[in-house]
Structure 1
Amino acid sequence: MSIRPVLETRRAQPTLEGAGVHLHRAFGFRDPDELDPFLMMDHFRNDDPAKYKAGFPWHPHRGIETITYVLSGAVEHQDSLGNTGNLGAGDVQWMTAGSGIMHQEMPSPDAHGVNHGFQLWANLPGAQKMVDPRYQDVNAREIPEITDDDGTHVRIITGTFWGRTGPVDGIAADPVFLDVTVPAGVKKTLPIDTYRRAFAYVFEGEAAFADASTPTGVLLEKEVAGQEVNIRDMSGDRTLVRFGTGDEITVQAGERGVRFLLISGTPIQEPVAWHGPIVMNTQEELRQAFAELRNGTFIRPAH
């Protein structure tokens, strides 16, 4: 067994998206190879409806899959194919945009005015970029949950973990998507397939990752490529942790415990041509997609 070193920790950056939604971007629009097959992840958490109620009006997607995970409040969606739905607390939607879709997502608050969740973008390999669009809407009750003897709690959105398999399937990136809670003071080792790219995103509490023996209230970089590195004093909340290679991670929860997403996937390792909501392999394919948006042929008949 080998513990994955922490290659980098960085704070999610505040940004505006859609019609003026205030959110934090964990990663995206930088180097698409960095977390291949994942392109971007946004964290939306706000208790002021004025900062999110305008939502994400009609917009296109092609060549990717989007994963929406709602923790509080709801997200209503509809698309150009006539699909409609409402994601509530604990629900997940995995949308394969494929050859192209127009959709909108409109957030709404819970009883306390809070809307909280995540959207992750996963790339599609070239051979699947033009497949027919499809949705997988998953109710919270369908998602397996496991609590270990030490109180560590895991929701398995997709992939197999601790002998249980999540309900979302048929995803090109073959991801494992986990929502992990580790109680205060607990040190936990979690397995990850050696050949996957992996990251954690801390959104509650604090922790030390890698080979840290005591909770510090910061994210700790203990060792990278066999060399000691400095501790980076960063709050746990809204922090991305990018791992190197290995087949497990170790997390030491701080005095408030920690909750984080642990996500891994198989790299696609193909060229990326990316502009806004459309991700293809070549600039010519990208130009064609935007030309079709302009001339009204972007939405294609189902095969």
Structure 2
Amino acid sequence: MRSIILILSLILTSTLFGREPKLSSKEVKQGEFFILTLPETGDYRITFPQGRTPIRTFPREDYEIAFVPVHYSTPPGSYPLKVERDGEFLLKEEVEIKDGEFEKSYIRVTSATKKKKSKKNVEVMVNYAREARKDSSQIKLWEGEFIYPLNGRITTSFGATRYVNNKLSGYHSGVDFAVPVGVPVLATNRGRVVLSMYLKSTGNTIIIDHGLNLYSSYSHMDSREVETGNIVEKGKVIGRSGNTGFSTGPHLHFTMSVGNTFVDPFLFIERKLID
């Protein structure tokens, strides 16, 4: 398990004594995130291209917060974070991005399976997913710690460099749990279902909005037991594991994201993010 430096300072109340924007950490790894605390509500503009997704702020009593992700393909180095309000720079801070130390993953697939991840099928999936993640709840929907969606052997870790038939395919956006077909899949936390459908590339897929721009997703399931618009409680059975879509065997592909940027799911599991 990679060290998670940002967890050391996620208790946000400690940042409110100053009247400047505060970062939970100035040093994170590829595929991690940090929390930006803004001392009062207002119309903020946050610039951090390495997040690869719009950075949204959300009101929390008399202050605002933003989850700021680091895309897993961002080269290690120092990058500027800028916070503006009413044309005035409130913060210019360098964020140090460290190597995520990702593994390599090799799989072989048949031509029939490979077609399920065609450029067209992936584009369709991406468009549906982006639409589902475009308007997160302004209030925190999750409660307490996030939980594992099921128990299973991890076959591919987050961020793994994926090779398909010995050709570079990209980075692994989540965690794969190897389980038989039909194992109950649990909602990792409370939230609203923003997508529940079959997609050729990811099979039976569910995306849950947990509020404040945090989302979980569950793919390759055999069946789905919730519909778009449903409010689900933490631990609710939302479907059954399967082998649908671009898949080489029964498993669950589980992701967490800030907006459209995937981050390490284990940053959430059994941890309290904010009050």
Query: Where is the strand percentage greater, Structure 1 or Structure 2?
Result: 1
Asked whether the two chains share a fold, i.e. TM above 0.5, the reply is no
Query: Where is the helix percentage greater, Structure 1 or Structure 2?
Result: 2
TM-score, normalised relative to structure 1: 0.26
Q: Looking at both structures, which has the greater relative contact order when contacts are Cα pairs under 8 Å and sequence separation is at least 6? A: 1
